[in-house]
Amino acid sequence: MTRFSKTFKRKLYKEYLWLDYLEIRTLWLPDKELSINAFTDIIGPERELLGDTDDDDLEMDGDRFISHKDRDKYEKRFESLIRLARVRIAKYGKDYPFEIIGGKSLKQVNSLDNGHFLYIYLLCSSLLSQFRDLQSVLTSEFESLCLEAIKELAPSRSQLFVSGRNALNDKDARYHGSLMTKLQKISEDLELNFKNRDYKPTSPTNSGDGGVDIVGWVDFTDKSMNKLSILAQCKCSEEWLKGGSDAYSQLKGIFSFDPLPVNYYFIPFCFRDHAFSWRDSTPVNSMILIDRSRLINLLSEDKIAKFVTTSDSIKRLKILMAEEAEHIFE
């Protein structure tokens, strides 16, 4: 049986991630509602996130003691998270699977539709550490979902292919086999020259994806230079925040790009602050970031319905959600 981590171990407090975690915990609470008391139980082991606390002036809270100072900090954090949830309600609209009850608790809506399940899928893909048994299927389906989204952005004549780990072992895929085989095919498709004609990956048996998950281009009727190239990275971990993890940065040391490619970065996170602006613009400067909000907005109702009804990970998440079992958290 799948088990989730009961605590959410983060060295730094990132509000958008904490709201994601609380949304996930809400889905598996027996009454599907998370109040300040439940939040206190959850955040209790993570006291360092709230700063230093004194152990005097304690009061009983459930089966443990908590200081008045801690409770004040918990309540302030929770109120801020509820305000951020209000922002998500306003921006995601009918696709947001939660509501705020009495201004003091987060609750799953009574009836979940396709838009809600797409949000839940992206939510779970943002916290892979909580879904150890589903990690591989969540990430592989994310690449396929991003391919459908990028079709809405690219010119209608574009040729678009998944080139990430999904394709590596698929003999019918355009990009499969060793990393070198894949890079040679990308070179041909995008009409790129290797900066070093004798380039070889560090390991000849390397079967990685080279840091690019989707490759595309637009063919013109002539054979002149200046092909429009499209690259995309699809990342379900916080590694995307590290500089140089986008597809262009991964390949610019290997190929000579002229002109520069359209460089997309897809993430399942809702990387937004209380104004629904980017939480941090620094990692966004060198690429076109497509986060949870933009991704949902790009997909038509038909595409969402098709994904939700055919997704193996959503099927398995529905089974887990039907258990309504808080005991699945360790």
Alpha carbons 154 and 216: distance in angstroms, whole number = 9
Is the confidence at residue 242, as pLDDT, over 90? no
Is the confidence at residue 136, as pLDDT, over 60? yes
The per-residue pLDDT for 82 is 95
The per-residue pLDDT for 321 is 86
For the stretch 43-53, pLDDT in tens is 665 554 444 44
255-276 average pLDDT score: 94
164-186 average pLDDT score: 76
Alpha carbons 43 and 178: distance in angstroms, whole number = 45
For the stretch 288-327, pLDDT in tens is 999 999 999 999 999 999 999 999 999 999 988 887 554 4
Q: What is the pTM of this model?
A: 0.87
Alpha carbons 24 and 17: distance in angstroms, whole number = 11
Across 45-70, b (16+ Cβ under 10 Å) vs e yields eeeebbeebeeeeeeebeeeebbebb
Q: Which residue has the higher pLDDT, 155 or 284?
A: 155
Residue 92 DSSP label: H
Question: Which of 82, 99, 85 lies closest to 39 in space, CA to CA?
Answer: 82
pLDDT band at 26 (very low <50, low <70, confident <90, very high): very high
Burial class (CB in 10 A: 0-12, 13-18, 19+), 309: exposed
The per-residue pLDDT for 71 is 67
169-194 average pLDDT score: 84
Q: Which residue has the higher pLDDT, 199 or 257?
A: 257
The full set of domain ranges for the chain reads: 15-133+316-328, 136-300
For 219, list phi and psi in degrees, rounded to 5.
-85, 135
For the stretch 52-105, pLDDT in tens is 444 444 343 444 434 556 667 778 889 999 999 999 999 999 999 999 999 889
